[in-house]
Amino acid sequence: MADNLDISWWQRLPVHGWRIVGVVESADEIPQKLPRNGAVLVGTRTYPKWIAFDCPCRSGHRILLNADKARRPYWSVTTQGNLTIYPSIDYRDANGRCHFFIRNGRITWAYGRDDE
Ligand SMILES: [Zn+2]
């Protein structure tokens, strides 16, 4: 691993790929507790409406993204195999910002606090 890359400690942990662990019909059916690296689709695999998962920062907050092309902003989601979500996820709340990419089941953290 190149020394000049700014890679956070949790990215060095063994990776168990992110994937879809379930599909539910409505957002109320999203389980309170999700498995590690597991995301749930609301809708169907063919026509997902939402994707929900616990933020990879592990502080316990949930991320819910719109996967319905009819609404904006919209995230495209691979529904088979290792998870890819496009574009990046940029979540902000009072505690800070979580900005990351999910590609092929792996998280890559984006940096940019200093540029903001
Ligand atoms: Zn987070």
Q: What is the pLDDT of residues 12-54, one digit of tens each?
A: 555 468 999 999 999 999 999 998 899 999 999 999 999 999 9
Distance 29 CA to ligand 1 centre (A): 22
Domain edges within the chain: 9-115
Token digits of residue 15: 């990776």
pTM exceeding the 0.75 threshold for the entire prediction: yes
Distance 30 CA to ligand 1 centre (A): 18
Distance 59 CA to ligand 1 centre (A): 6
Establish whether the linkage from the previous residue to 73 is cis, with ω within 30° of 0. yes
Place of tokens 């400690």: 9
Average pLDDT of span 84-106: 92
Distance 10 CA to ligand 1 centre (A): 12
- In sign, the C-alpha dihedral spanning 71, 77, 80, 83 is negative
More confident residue, 79 or 9: 79
Could you give the 3-state DSSP secondary structure of residue 113? helix
Could you give the 3-state DSSP secondary structure of residue 67? coil
Q: What is the pLDDT of residues 55-85, one digit of tens each?
A: 999 888 999 999 999 999 999 999 888 999 9
The helix/strand count (H/E) of the chain reads as 0, 8
Distance 69 CA to ligand 1 centre (A): 24
